[in-house]
C-alpha cells in the first residue's frame, strides 16, 4: 500500500503517516483523535469491552478439594483462577455455569471413614487435617488397613452402614469448613455450586457399560475396567477396580457425559493443576471416542502451576506442615492474596511464603488500589458531580505530553486485553495491565496532564482511569 493511498482527509483525522526506511510506515495518532477517544470511552459503559462471547454457554469446573480435610494454600490458586475466569467470560457476554468439584466418592474419603470406624469411641477426635494425614499414612504403611479401606469404599459407594452415615457427616463438616473461605474470598461460587462426585453415582454403571459395549473400555482378567488410549496403549484410565469400586475417572467421565449431553455447552473449562495434564487429555479423548464430545464444544484443561512450600515441594493435605488457606487469609488482605496469586503466569509454580510476592512497590494490589483512590479523588475535585455521567466538553487544550499519550493509549487497550484473556484464559495479563495503567496514571499526574489543559479534560482522564481500574479489579474479583 502506498503512502498516497493512506493520505486522505479521513485518514489524517485518525493518524499521520511517515515513511521509515524502504519497508516501514510510522503512524502517529494526532492529539485530537486521542481526546475524542477519551470522550468516547467515557460514554461507553463497557469501556471498549466487546461482547465477543455473546450467546455462548461456558461451564467452569473449578477447584477439586477432597472432603474430610481443610483447604490449603494450593487450593486457593484453583479457586481464584476459576473465579476470575468466570467473571471475565461473563463480561465478554458468555453465560457461565459454575461447577465446583468436590471429591467425596473416592478412596481418600474411605480412608478417613475407616480410621474413624477403628478409633475407640471415647478417644478425642483429631482435627480434619490430622485425621486425613493419619489415614493416608496408615493406608500407605499398613496393607491390612488398606484392604479394609477398600471394603469400606465399596460399602460407602453402596450406601451401607455405618459408612454411609459417617460419609454424610464428613460432607456436612467439609462444607462448613469450606464455606467461610469462599465467603471471605468473595467468590462467585457458593456452597450451592458444589458439584460432588457422588452426584453422578447413579450414572456410573451405565457409563461403564456404555464404554465397554463400544470397545473403548475393557474388562481385565482381574475384573478391573480400564480405558486404553487408542493412540498409546500404555496410557490407561482406571475406571473401576477389581473389587468393583468406582475410581475418580468414572466420576469425571460421568460428569463430562452429563454436561455435554444435557447442557450442550460451547466450552467446558477444567481448572486444575498441571500435574493432571495427561489425565484430562485422556478424559477428553475418551469423551470424543464415545461421541459425547464433538466439534461444537471445546473442552479445555486450564492447567496452572502448583503451589509449593519453602522446601519447593507441592503443598498437600496429607503431609505435615501444610499451609492452610485460613492462615494465609489471616496474614494478608484478600486483595493482596488475589493479586499475588493471579498476577503470576498461570503455568508457573508459586513458591510460598506469600510475602515473597506481596508488599513490593508497584507489584501488588495496594499499588493499583492506591492509583484507583487517587484517580477517584482527582475526578471528584475537578469534575462537578452533575456532569460526571454526561458527555464531556473540553476547553482549550495544549499539545499532548508523552505521558498523556501513553495513558490514553493504555486506557484504549483495555477492551483488547480483556478479549485476549477470554481466549488465552490467562488473567495475569489483566493484572499486568492494571499495574501498567496505575504506573502510567502516576506519571501523568506528576507531569501535570496536558500542557495548558482545562480542568474538564484532566477530570476526564482521572475519571476514565478510575473506571477502568475499578472494572479491571472487578474482573479478577478484587
pLDDT tens string 50-91 = 999 999 999 999 876 889 888 999 999 999 999 999 999 999
> What mean pLDDT is predicted for residues 141-163?
97
Nearest to 42 by CA among 341, 390, 289: 390
Ranking 12-16, 179-183, 253-257, 258-262 by mean pLDDT, the lowest is 12-16
Name the helix (H) or strand (E) containing 67.
none
Ranking 233-242, 324-333, 339-348, 376-385 by mean pLDDT, the lowest is 376-385
Cell digits for 189?
461460587
pLDDT at 459: 87
Q: Which residue has the higher pLDDT, 137 or 456?
A: 137
Name the helix (H) or strand (E) containing 101.
strand 95-102
- Judged by DSSP in three states, 290 sits in coil
Going by their DSSP bridges, the two strands 95-102 and 194-196 should be labelled as parallel
Question: In the predicted model, is pLDDT for residue 109 greater than 50?
Answer: yes
Instruction: Give yes or no for a contact between 217 and 239, defined as CB atoms under 8 angstroms apart.
Output: yes
Nearest to 77 by CA among 368, 261, 328: 328
Cell digits for 170?
464428613
Contacts of 25 (CB under 8 A, 6+ apart): 3, 6, 17, 18, 19
Single pTM value for the model: 0.90
CA-CA-CA-CA dihedral for 209, 214, 216, 222, to nearest 10 = 50
CA distance 198 to 204: 10
Cell digits for 403?
505521558
pLDDT at 361: 45
Q: Which residue has the higher pLDDT, 363 or 325?
A: 325
Question: In the predicted model, is pLDDT for residue 20 greater than 90?
Answer: no
Cell digits for 183?
465467603
Instruction: Give yes or no for a contact between 184 and 334, defined as CB atoms under 8 angstroms apart.
Output: yes
User: What are 236's strand-pairing partners?
Assistant: 228
Question: In the predicted model, is pLDDT for residue 161 greater than 50?
Answer: yes
Cell 469411641, residue? 121
Q: Supply the mean pLDDT for the chain.
A: 88
Ranking 87-91, 154-158, 171-175, 391-395 by mean pLDDT, the lowest is 391-395
What pLDDT, in 10s, does the model give residues 244-280?
Answer: 999 999 999 999 999 999 889 999 999 999 999 999 9
pLDDT at 266: 97
User: What are 57's strand-pairing partners?
Assistant: 95
Instruction: Give yes or no for a contact between 300 and 60, defined as CB atoms under 8 angstroms apart.
Output: no
Tell me the pLDDT band of 380, cut-offs 50, 70 and 90.
confident
CB atoms within 10 A of CB 13: 11
Question: In the predicted model, is pLDDT for residue 332 greater than 70?
Answer: yes
CA distance 152 to 278: 29
Question: In the predicted model, is pLDDT for residue 367 greater than 70?
Answer: yes
> What mean pLDDT is predicted for residues 414-430?
97
Tell me the pLDDT band of 453, cut-offs 50, 70 and 90.
low
Question: In the predicted model, is pLDDT for residue 302 greater than 80?
Answer: yes
What are the helix (H) ranges across 186-276? 204-213, 248-258
CB atoms within 10 A of CB 465: 27
Ranking 60-69, 167-176, 317-326 by mean pLDDT, the lowest is 317-326
pLDDT at 387: 52
Question: In the predicted model, is pLDDT for residue 142 greater than 90?
Answer: yes
Question: In the predicted model, is pLDDT for residue 458 greater than 60?
Answer: yes
**Dihedral sign of CA atoms 182, 183, 185, 190 in order:** positive
Question: In the predicted model, is pLDDT for residue 24 greater than 90?
Answer: no
Cell digits for 195?
458439584
- Judged by DSSP in three states, 280 sits in helix
Tell me the pLDDT band of 473, cut-offs 50, 70 and 90.
very high
The percent of residues in the chain predicted with pLDDT above 70, rounded, is 87
Amino acid at each position: 500500500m502506498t503512502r498516497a493511498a493512506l493520505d486522505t482527509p479521513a485518514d489524517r483525522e485518525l493518524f499521520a503517516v511517515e515513511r521509515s526506511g524502504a519497508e516501514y510506515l510510522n503512524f502517529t495518532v494526532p492529539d485530537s483523535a486521542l481526546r475524542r477517544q477519551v470522550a468516547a470511552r467515557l460514554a461507553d459503559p463497557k469501556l471498549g469491552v466487546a461482547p465477543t462471547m455473546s450467546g455462548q454457554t461456558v461451564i467452569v469446573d473449578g477447584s477439586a478439594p477432597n472432603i474430610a480435610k481443610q483447604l490449603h494454600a494450593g487450593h486457593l490458586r484453583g479457586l481464584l483462577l476459576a473465579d476470575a475466569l468466570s467473571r471475565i467470560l461473563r463480561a465478554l457476554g458468555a453465560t457461565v455455569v459454575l461447577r465446583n468439584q468436590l471429591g467425596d466418592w473416592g478412596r481418600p474419603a474411605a480412608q478417613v471413614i475407616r480410621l474413624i470406624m477403628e478409633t475407640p469411641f471415647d478417644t478425642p477426635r483429631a482435627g480434619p487435617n490430622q485425621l486425613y494425614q493419619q489415614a493416608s499414612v496408615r493406608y500407605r504403611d499398613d496393607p491390612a488397613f488398606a484392604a479394609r479401606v477398600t471394603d469400606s469404599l465399596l460399602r460407602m459407594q453402596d450406601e451401607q452402614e455405618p459408612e454411609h452415615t459417617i460419609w454424610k457427616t464428613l460432607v456436612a463438616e467439609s462444607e462448613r469448613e469450606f464455606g467461610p473461605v469462599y465467603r471471605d474470598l468473595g467468590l462467585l461460587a457458593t456452597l450451592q455450586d458444589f458439584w460432588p462426585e457422588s452426584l453422578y453415582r447413579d450414572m456410573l454403571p451405565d457409563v461403564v457399560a456404555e464404554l465397554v459395549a463400544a470397545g473403548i473400555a475393557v474388562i481385565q482378567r482381574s475384573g478391573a475396567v480400564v480405558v486404553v488410549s487408542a493412540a498409546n496403549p500404555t496410557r490407561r484410565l482406571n475406571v473401576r477396580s477389581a473389587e468393583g469400586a468406582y475410581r475418580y475417572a468414572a466420576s469425571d467421565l460421568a460428569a463430562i457425559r452429563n454436561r455435554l449431553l444435557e447442557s450442550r455447552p460451547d466450552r467446558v473449562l477444567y481448572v486444575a493443576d498441571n500435574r493432571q495434564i495427561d489425565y484430562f487429555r485422556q478424559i477428553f479423548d475418551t469423551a470424543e471416542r464415545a461421541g459425547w464430545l464433538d466439534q461444537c464444544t471445546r473442552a479445555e484443561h486450564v492447567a496452572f502451576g502448583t503451589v509449593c512450600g519453602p522446601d519447593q515441594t507441592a503443598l498437600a493435605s496429607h503431609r505435615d506442615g501444610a499451609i492452610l488457606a485460613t492462615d494465609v487469609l489471616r496474614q494478608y488482605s484478600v486483595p493482596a492474596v488475589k493479586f499475588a496469586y493471579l498476577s503470576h503466569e498461570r503455568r508457573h509454580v508459586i513458591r510460598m511464603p506469600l510475602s515473597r510476592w506481596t508488599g513490593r512497590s508497584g507489584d501488588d494490589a495496594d499499588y493499583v488500589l492506591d492509583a484507583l483512590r487517587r484517580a477517584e479523588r482527582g475526578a471528584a475535585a475537578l469534575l462537578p458531580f452533575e456532569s460526571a455521567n454526561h458527555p464531556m466538553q473540553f476547553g482549550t487544550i495544549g499539545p499532548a505530553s508523552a505521558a498523556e499519550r501513553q495513558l490514553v493509549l493504555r486506557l484504549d487497550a483495555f477492551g483488547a486485553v480483556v478479549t485476549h484473556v477470554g481466549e488465552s484464559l490467562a488473567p495475569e495479563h489483566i493484572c499486568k495491565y492494571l499495574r501498567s495503567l496505575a504506573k502510567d496514571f502516576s506519571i501523568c499526574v506528576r507531569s501535570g496532564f496536558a500542557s495548558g489543559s482545562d480542568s474538564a479534560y484532566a477530570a476526564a482522564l482521572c475519571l476514565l482511569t478510575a473506571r477502568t481500574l475499578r472494572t479491571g479489579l472487578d474482573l479478577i474479583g478484587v
